[in-house]
Structure 1
Amino acid sequence: MQVALVTGASSGIGEAAVRALLGAGYTVYAAARRVERMEALAHDGARLLALDVTDDASLTDGVRKVLGETGRVDVLVNNAGYGSFGALEEVPLEEARRQFEVNVFGLARLTQLVLPGMRERRSGTIVNVSSMGGQFYEPLGSWYHATKFAVEGLSDSLRIELRPFGVRVVVVQPGAIRSEWSSIARGSLLEVSGRGPYARGARRVAGVMKTAYMPGMASPPQVVAGAILQAVEARHPLPRYRVGAGARPLLALRKVLPDRLFDLIVRGIYRH
């Protein structure tokens, strides 16, 4: 039986991905810091794993536990991540570093830990959940977008690097998805830049984000989970899957428009 490990599984995309993989017959380890929030997943057959992606000992012990119980990890879904917004001038570097630790270095370290087994078996799939924000940008989101741009570049290099060993690397780029992400991002934005020289822009960006993630506007996390399952089960998966509200049209425009013209579109969206 194929074994999958999903991070950030306590809610949103991660929780939906666990359910999709369980439904397809995988043995699934649902990993997150808040194990108590995953009791429903355990009831549905997932194996729970307390995991802090910023703690190397937690990552090492977690992978050791999975390998000790099953002997393998066939699918790694690097989903853990969060959005912290605010003007670059005002975001403390400690917070910027933490966002890189969660969104980039935790992902990379966990990948390092599962790769030896995948490489030796000459099979495996690594799914890195990025964002349309990995190729799209917003005002007052520089640190978040920097982490997602980093995930994109890391994944592209890794895809070619691991091809000789039969290990596939896929990027999933969600658009606006109904989850805790929006409220966390808006909260950090207004806390950091809701007063002072960037306050007007912060309120505008927070308003656009609130509207984009309203019911009826944002997509359910199941659409992302479906793309993850599709990538995992495909014989030849695509390098990227763009899913959810706004992802395909915005990234299509980003691909064809020159920078200055795309800047005008972004400024128009955020009235910036």
Structure 2
Amino acid sequence: MIKTVLVTGASAGIGRATAIYLAQKGYKVYGAARRVEKMHDLKAYGVQPIALDVSEENSMVACVTTILNQEGRIDILINSAGLGSYGALEDVSMAEAKNQLEINLFGASRLIQLVLPEMRKNKFGKIVNISSIGGKVGLPMGSWYHASKFAIEGLSDCLRNEVKQFGIDVIVIEPGSTKSEMIESGSADLMRVSGKTAYKDLANAVIKSYAAQKDKAIEAVEIAKLIAKGIESKSPKTRYIASNAKVFLFIRKLLSDQLFDKLVMSQMK
């Protein structure tokens, strides 16, 4: 049976690459995003674009209901929609902080709630949550982004043991730096929020650090392949780590908090 997949954040980056890659592998893929106009070309790859705003309850319900009405099932949910909003904790407004969590955490959680009843009924399902290297390591100027990804990691651990009894797997994907519009938009956001505050020197240092790492960013399709590996495994790993994140996360395990902080801040000059 052809599996039906819902990929959020399909207008760009990892979501777009994943929707295309899975459609080319023969899955029935619905690519969902707010910016539907940016997904028209996905039809050429066999992806069905569908409108979805993960910060709006009615939009999420309508999206899932439409797919269930058309396909009768959603076998795989890939929570790829995300926002990278940056700035010193002191500088970020609570409204922006809540928006970050609304998109990266609560939107993903609500979609999981909406797809679980049918997955339980079918005794099959794969829920893929896109975390980040930032779900294991906190870096300066990204407190709310990292908070959202740390939360996704914990949520996934809890959920995995709740739904395993129904034949549903929960998989976490941990990308490192990935080529996407988020790098540029995140840098611009950081300067908007903290570029003229008491944290301006650190903000500039962080921007330089990001620029230095840009050449190490991998193509989004590499993450799509990692996702495919997870959902096609009968006994998937709980976590799949991108190739360019493994060394960094290994070092994090070895070092104390204080030594790791020194290592991180040595790159922020």
Q: Tell me the TM-score range normalised by the shorter chain.
A: over 0.9
Q: Is the 8 A contact 1:136 1:250 kept in 2?
A: no
CA-atom RMSD, angstroms?
Answer: 0.9
Q: Is the 8 A contact 2:87 2:190 kept in 1?
A: yes
CA shift for structure 1 position 244:
4.5
Q: 1:258 aligns with which of 232, 239, 256?
A: 256
Deviations 1:199-232 (A, max 9, x none): 000000011112212xx42100011000001001
The residue number in structure 1 matching 2:69 is 68
Residues 244/10 of structure 1: CA separation in 2 closer, same or farther (3 Å cut): farther
Q: Is the 8 A contact 1:177 1:244 kept in 2?
A: no
Is 1:48 the counterpart of 2:49 in the alignment? Answer: yes
CA shift for structure 1 position 24:
1.6
The residue number in structure 2 matching 1:240 is 239
Query: Partner amino acid for 2:73?
Result: R
The residue number in structure 2 matching 1:152 is 153
The residue number in structure 1 matching 2:128 is 127
Percent of residue pairs bearing the same amino acid type: 44
CA distance in 2, matches of 1:22, 1:47: 9
User: Equivalent residues in 2 for 1:117-196 (5 A)?
Assistant: 117-196=118-197
CA shift for structure 1 position 137:
1.3
Moved more, 164-173 or 204-213: 204-213
The residue number in structure 1 matching 2:80 is 79
The residue number in structure 2 matching 1:2 is 3
CA distance in 1, matches of 2:156, 2:197: 37
Task: Give the length in aligned residue pairs.
Answer: 268
Runs of 4+ in 1 over 2 A off after TM superposition: none
The residue number in structure 2 matching 1:269 is 267
Normalised to the residue count of structure 1, the TM-score between the two structures is 0.97
CA distance in 2, matches of 1:9, 1:244: 22
Gaps of 5+ in 2: none
Query: Partner amino acid for 1:127?
Result: V
CA distance in 1, matches of 2:227, 2:218: 15
Deviations 1:147-170 (A, max 9, x none): 000000000111111111110000
CA distance in 1, matches of 2:238, 2:266: 31
Is 1:210 the counterpart of 2:219 in the alignment? Answer: no
CA distance in 2, matches of 1:52, 1:182: 21
Normalised to the residue count of structure 2, the TM-score between the two structures is 0.98
